[in-house]
């Protein structure tokens, strides 16, 4: 199953995001190597600066998807004000369909 992890950064946390980015990217690379990552990328504010994340993962359950979200270095660093994990169905332009 696919799960969308929707994260909103805390206000004023851009520097924390930048400082933690190498560990976050390494985490996503590990998920990709384990075939658990569908895709990921940041949300952007009006100035084009990142202010949140969208990560879509493959997991057997919502609990497993939540565990992946909690393991993200951004989450461990306290970057996010909110994290929402939702089951997701990739209907259009799915390369695996």
Give me the pLDDT at residue 38, please.
Answer: 97
Q: What is the pTM of this model?
A: 0.94
What is the model's pLDDT at position 94? 84
Residue 40 pLDDT grade (very low, low, confident, very high; cuts 50, 70, 90): very high
CATH of the domain at 39: 3.30.70.1060
Contact 50, 10 (CB under 8 A): no
Range of the domain at 48: 2-88
Whether 52 maps to a domain, the answer reads yes
Stated as kind and residue range, the H or E segment containing 66 is helix 62-71
Question: Measuring CA to CA, which residue among 18, 28, 7 is closest to residue 84?
Answer: 7
Radius of gyration of the chain measured on its C-alpha atoms: 13
* Residue 27 falls inside a structural domain: yes
Domains in the chain: how many in total?
1
Question: What's the mean pLDDT in 14-39?
Answer: 97
Contact 14, 50 (CB under 8 A): yes
């Amino acid at each position: 199953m696919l799960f969308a992890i929707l994260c909103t950064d805390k206000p004023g946390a851009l520097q924390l995001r930048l400082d933690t980015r190498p560990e976050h990217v390494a985490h996503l690379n590990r998920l990709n190597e384990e075939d658990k990552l569908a895709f990921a990328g940041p949300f952007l504010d009006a100035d084009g600066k990142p202010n949140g994340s969208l990560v879509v993962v493959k997991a057997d359950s919502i609990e497993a998807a939540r565990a992946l979200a909690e393991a993200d270095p951004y989450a461990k660093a306290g970057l996010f004000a909110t994290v929402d994990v939702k089951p997701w169905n990739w209907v259009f332009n799915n390369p695996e369909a």
